[in-house]
Structure 1
Amino acid sequence: MFALLKHAEPADLGDLLRDARVTTMDLVRAVIGQACQRFRSIGQCVRTARIERLIGANAWTEVALALIDLELPQWQVRRIAYDGGEWHCALSRERELPDWLDRSVEARHADLALAILAAFVAAQALVAPSGRPSVPAVPQQANPLYVPVCCDNFA
């Protein structure tokens, strides 16, 4: 099963979390490998060591919350609720805003840790840099009919 996790696409990570029944070490490693950019950073060694200890202790809910703290420092858990046999988790940047004003990311699953990890992966997808530049591209070839005109008044 780990071979399947290793080759999963980032878009498939959400499907993988949704289809899982329980949280496993392989699943958490797949999330860390595909969705976490700061995890292997040199400056984060204390925080990553804590996450590694939590993984070793199989404390999956704490691992999910620690990953949110490490990778998405601007995001916070807005709501965790259990309803109808499923855990609902909502992450938000502005927790103090009313629900109708806030753009939160929500996920649900029968397992609490998987619900939090699914919301984490969805938030990471929103924050991930897109392939488009922030400044629009300028055409490299000028129009052949374009003729520059000097309109300064030197009088």
Structure 2
Amino acid sequence: MNKKIVQVYCGKGKGKTTAAVGQCIRAASMGHEVIIIQFLKGRDAEEFSFLKKLEPDIKLFRFEKEQEYFLDLTKEQQNEEIKNILNGFNFARKVIDTGECDVLVLDEVLGLIELGIITIDDVIKLIQLRDDYFKLVMTGHNLPEELVEYVDMISEIIPIKELQN
């Protein structure tokens, strides 16, 4: 394998997860092992449950238990979900450290930084764990400036025109 590629889809527009999933389908079609770990999706996680049909080529993991969005949960529920989220992040570390896949997508991982669940340093350490994986894809609304130097490709998805209700 060549040097790793770290890619980010960020911005206020819709389609960051969809773009990342597109990368997964492309990689799986070339015979690569793909893992997606989703964070902070709440009800929206169901949109991508069809990916279960693509197993074992693309493996999808969610560690959160609640169906509601994180910020809509009670403090007690949030505290419980933080434990689940950290289990998911630790699983991502293990996946990279053991070379378990060629492409790892951490969907909405940048939102974990915004919420203070993980730090920028946590993400940097994750990126630096190994140099021999194929691709790490991260998504979220905001890419902290401190992470830019660790990322090879950044795509900002911004709304040009939004559907009016």
Relative to the length of structure 2, the TM-score reads: 0.26
Q: Which has the larger radius of gyration?
A: 1
Point out the structure with the larger strand share: 2
Indicate the structure whose relative CO is greater, using CA pairs within 8 Å and at least 6 residues apart. Answer: 2
